[in-house]
Amino acid sequence: MATSLAAAYRLHYAEVTRQGNAGETDPSRLDAEVAVRLRLTGHHRHAIARAIREAAEASHPGR
């Protein structure tokens, strides 16, 4: 279980990228899938947006 929302983002992101052709998928599409997963696990919309902004920078810099 993730101890923070950023950790939850990283876990879901890793799972999403393991499932398919992440190298060919637009990073924003991956973030959208992670956002849906976070919402389904009970996280609030504003917190999800903040987590994606913070964690996505590390996952795909230069975006």
Q: Is the pLDDT of residue 59 over 90?
A: no
| Cα 56 from Cα 63, distance rounded (Å) | 9
Instruction: State the total domains in the chain.
Output: 1
Q: What is the pLDDT of residues 8-54, one digit of tens each?
A: 898 998 898 887 766 677 888 888 999 999 999 999 999 999 988 88
Supply the range of the domain harboring residue 9: 5-59
Per-residue pLDDT band for 63 (boundaries 50, 70, 90) equals low
pLDDT at 37: 95
